[in-house]
Homo-oligomer: A and B are copies of this chain.
Amino acid sequence: MQNTIDGQQRRISVVEKILSANDRLAAENRHTLDQAGVFGVNIMASPGAGKTSLIELTIKKLIGQVSLAVVDGDIATSIDADRAAAAGAVAVQINTGGECHLDAVMLAQGLTQIDLSKIDLLIVENVGNLVCPASFQLGTHKNILVASIPEGDDKPYKYPAMYRGVDALVINKIDLQPYVPFDMDYFRRGVEILNPGLEKFAVSCRTGEGIDAWLSWILMQLDENK
């Protein structure tokens, strides 16, 4: 698109350039990971859906079996990276300084802080946001979405870009199902329209229910990537 004197058009043009530069850098990140034999996942979700809890539990369950590192994206604080480090992983914090998503440049900077030759699995925790991260590929092998029961069953319908663009869906906080209205069939139908056949894992990171299927899937992905 050519720049025009219309402000709105001009803005779109700049955004397109940023996205295309991001895609090039994402491809470089993927190459870096592949060269090192590292499998990378990008975990996205609303604030509070349970990204950090899922990562914490994944670290605790896989420790000793898989060498992993976490790159944590947050607007402010190192709360999440501290939790990942306490659970036993190499953890790198990226503070986005107000930005609402991670991008490939930020991940590239994060990767320089990790000895990739020593790890098998890289988990990237994106900024809590169900909209913007969907537009920025990071170069990881898989994009994962964490949904949660108390968020409500209408989210696939209302945030289609995010649900359409992911490779697996973890439905967290299933222990809260008795206490909130959530029609799982309605939710699943919404997901199926946007992303047919999407891998789904219903879990409670609090009780550990359902987590084994998620761990098996991650281990299978690691095997396939070797």
Please list the residues of chain A having a beta carbon within 8 angstroms of any beta carbon in chain B.
Answer: 7, 10-11, 14, 17-18, 21, 46-48, 74-77, 79-80, 98, 100, 127-132, 148, 150-152, 154-155, 157-161, 173, 175-176, 179-181, 206
Contact = CB atoms under 8 A, between A and B. Distances in A.
A74 B100 CA distance: 18
Determine how many copies of this chain the complex contains: 2
Contacts of A46: 46-48, 128
Contacts of A160: 75-76
Contacts of A14: 10-11, 14
Contacts of A161: 75, 98
Contacts of A11: 14, 18
A65 to B, nearest CB: 27
B76 A157 contact: yes
17 contacts: A7-B17, A7-B21, A11-B14, A47-B151, A47-B155, A47-B159, A48-B151, A75-B131, A75-B161, A76-B157, A100-B100, A128-B130, A128-B159, A129-B130, A129-B132, A150-B176, A180-B206
Given A46-B47, A47-B46, A151-B48, A79 B157 contact: yes
B75 A154 contact: no
Given A79-B157, A131-B132, 16 more contacts: A7-B18, A11-B14, A11-B18, A46-B46, A47-B151, A76-B158, A76-B159, A77-B158, A79-B154, A79-B158, A100-B131, A100-B132, A128-B131, A132-B132, A150-B176, A176-B176
A225 to B, nearest CB: 31
